[in-house]
A and B are shown apart, each in its own frame.
Chain A
């Protein structure tokens, strides 16, 4: 039964990965390449691999990115968290997808927003890695807090439930205030940086949305509704 969940998570991951790979192939690669024209002397030596390799590997990376979330979040995570997720059917998947987005991208981006190539950041790579990891943990904790708040408030009226469920998100203001300043400098116009950031946000949203949709489409696991010790009989 756990392997059944894992399999469905992996299938959803393949679907999400293919859609996200297509996004990287059509939008991500060319947008990044275009932004690189603003770059001058990124670390001195330049890339060690050809453009074609980068294109293909990045598309593959996109596919595996979806597969990773499918297995980890919808395979393993959904198996354990299913009883605690709000609602039924698609609502549950969307709640889990929202929690996943918050953990992997949403919370870290509050301190370290996506930067286009050619923008130099003041903080060192190690510092940023540590902050990114810490904020992923913070995002996961806040997502759990939202789930607990939903449990407590679910018997109230709908607006109260919604407000109570989303209230823990305000906790993310704490790391934002505490984080060190990270001034950036680069020649990319501000409007283009905004367009790039929102493209990234929508790209990740499409990935999580596809994962949730594919996982919903696969239906409920047989073990979700009834879990008997007897083998199922076909008749």
Chain B
């Protein structure tokens, strides 16, 4: 599609070449854990503590 050297697929290639599977897994796990903790944990202690935050951010799935 693109004539230039820099494209999205080019970036994916570069990431593949320079990152190990473990690094990618750790990064994704951290992001997922953070998102899950903030939004979806239904444990009463944590859930109630984050109550004001969720209302401030407009996420009211509870």
Q: Which A residues form the contact surface with B (CB < 8 A)?
A: 1-2, 6, 23-24, 27-29, 31-33, 35, 47-49, 53-55, 57-59, 61-62, 64-65, 67-68, 71-72, 76, 79-84, 105, 109, 112-117, 121, 125, 128-129, 132, 197, 200-201, 203-204, 227
Contacts and interface: CB of A to CB of B under 8 A. Distances in A.
Contacts of B14: 1-2, 227
Given A83-B7, A129-B61, A23 B56 contact: yes
Contact of B8 (A59, A64, A68, A81): A81
A176 B59 CA distance: 17
B2 A83 contact: yes
A61 B27 contact: no
Contact of A33 (B2, B35, B52, B61): B52
Query: Is the contact region of chain B dominated by helix, strand, or loop, or is it mixed?
Result: helix
Interface string B31-60: 100110110100011101111111111111
B53 A83 contact: no
Interface of B: 2, 4, 6-8, 10-12, 14-15, 18-19, 27, 30-31, 34-35, 37-38, 40, 44-46, 48-62
Nearest to B37: A64
B38 A28 contact: no
A1 B61 contact: no
A192 B45 CA distance: 28
Contacts of A128: 60-61
A84 B8 contact: yes
A115 B15 contact: no
Nearest to B44: A48
B49 A54 contact: yes
A59 B6 CA distance: 40
Given A48-B44, A84-B8, A129-B40, A65 B61 contact: no
B34 to A, nearest CB: 5
A112 to B, nearest CB: 7
B52 A58 contact: yes
Given A27-B56, A125-B62, 4 more contacts: A58-B50, A58-B51, A83-B6, A114-B60
Nearest to A23: B56
Contacts of B18: 1-2
A80 B15 contact: yes
B35 A62 contact: no
